[in-house]
């Protein structure tokens, strides 16, 4: 039995394109068919841009993501659409955002955009529940938590509705839904993926991220959607952009942070305010 093309890796998909055993139109049609069938139950997409996707698949741009169906969190502006940010199924009534350069780079690399994906309202949420536009449900079991705020971005990839997706992460909003839906969530360093044209939650913490079914696909999307300067922009620790700094929290950083926090508490106590531990009523520990 041949493997379901919707569950191929991006590398496998493009190998099939190269040997002529599969076409971008066939792949896109398979994703659209599955999305139209499953989205009423899963709530992954805010809307499915089937007509535009089919047209793009007929003559895909050559590039490293040529003919790969992707989708994006409904927090990015495109030339044809302003985001609804999980609050409305349409455009928010606010000043328009410029089109996202990140989505433009993905399309320039040959990707086929299937449409905007569900999310927690204004990117504030952790479960995937959304009383405004409908819940995004975990494809492994709709009763399970999906995670958020990039809930639809994780659901679409895990369910085989798209080969990858673009989300945003301010406090694990890519990583949590990816983990709960059994896929890969990659949040690169600040500036690696351009956040222009993305509705802001916290300008100092927001960053776009990639969700995919395997690490190589996530890295490929990051590489070909990234800013040109991010590769050469030095980090404060001296490491080149895109490479992890050595050491991380091992050995030194964790104790240093603990000492710094203790010193801050001591300074507050000495200055008049009293700092005390509190117990939140909704937390078990």
Neighbours of 193 (CB within 10 A): 27
Q: 165, 170, 173, 262: which is the annotated catalytic residue?
A: 173
Closest CA to 165 of 230, 213, 98, 227: 213
The answer to whether 9 is a known catalytic residue is no
Which residues, 6 or more positions from 84, have their beta carbon under 8 angstroms from its beta carbon? 46, 74, 90, 91, 92, 116, 133
Distances 8 to 64, 100, 185 between C-alpha atoms, Å: 16, 28, 18
DSSP 193-237: S--TTB--S-TTT-EEEEEESSHHHHHHHHHHHS-SGGGTPPPTT
As a whole number of angstroms, the longest Cα–Cα distance in the chain is 74
Characterize the bridge pairing of strands 184-186 and 207-212.
antiparallel
In the residue annotation, 47 being an active-site residue is answered as no
Catalytic residue among 25, 33, 73, 258: 73
The CA–CA distances, whole Å, from 215 to 76, 241, 269 equal 23, 18, 47
Annotated catalytic residue, options 100, 149, 150, 153: 149
- In the annotation, is 73 catalytic? yes
**Measured distance CA(113)–CA(72) in Å, rounded:** 8
Could you tell me which residues come within 8 angstroms of residue 26 by beta carbon, excluding any fewer than 6 positions away? Answer: 5
The whole-angstrom distance between residue 246's C-alpha and the CA centroid of its chain comes to 26
Q: Could you list the active site residues?
A: 73, 149, 173
């Amino acid at each position: 039995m041949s493997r379901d093309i919707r569950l191929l890796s991006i590398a496998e998909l493009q190998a099939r394109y190269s040997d002529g055993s599969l076409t971008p139109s066939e792949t896109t049609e398979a994703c659209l068919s599955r999305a139209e069938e499953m989205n009423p139950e899963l709530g992954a997409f805010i809307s499915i841009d089937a007509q535009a996707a089919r047209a793009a698949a007929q003559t895909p741009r050559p590039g490293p993501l040529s003919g790969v169906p992707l989708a994006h969190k409904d927090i990015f502006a495109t030339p044809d659409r302003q985001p609804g940010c999980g609050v409305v199924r349409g455009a928010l009534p606010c000043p328009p955002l410029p089109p996202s350069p990140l989505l433009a780079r993905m399309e320039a690399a040959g990707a086929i955009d299937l449409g905007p994906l569900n999310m927690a309202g204004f990117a504030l949420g952790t479960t995937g529940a959304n009383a405004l536009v409908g819940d995004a449900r975990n494809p492994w079991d709709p009763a399970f938590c999906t995670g958020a705020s990039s809930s639809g971005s994780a659901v679409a990839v895990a369910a085989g509705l798209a080969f990858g997706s673009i989300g945003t992460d301010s406090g694990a909003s890519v990583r949590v839904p990816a983990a709960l839906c059994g896929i890969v969530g990659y949040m690169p360093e600040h500036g690696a993926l351009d956040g222009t044209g993305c509705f802001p939650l916290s300008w100092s913490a927001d960053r776009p991220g990639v969700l995919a079914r395997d690490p190589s696909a996530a890295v490929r999307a990051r590489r070909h959607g990234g800013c040109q300067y991010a590769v050469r922009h030095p980090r404060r620790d001296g490491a080149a952009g895109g490479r992890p700094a050595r050491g991380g929290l091992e050995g030194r950083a964790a104790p240093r942070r603990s000492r710094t926090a203790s010193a801050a508490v001591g300074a507050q106590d000495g200055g008049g305010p009293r700092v005390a531990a509190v117990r939140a009523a909704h937390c078990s520990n």
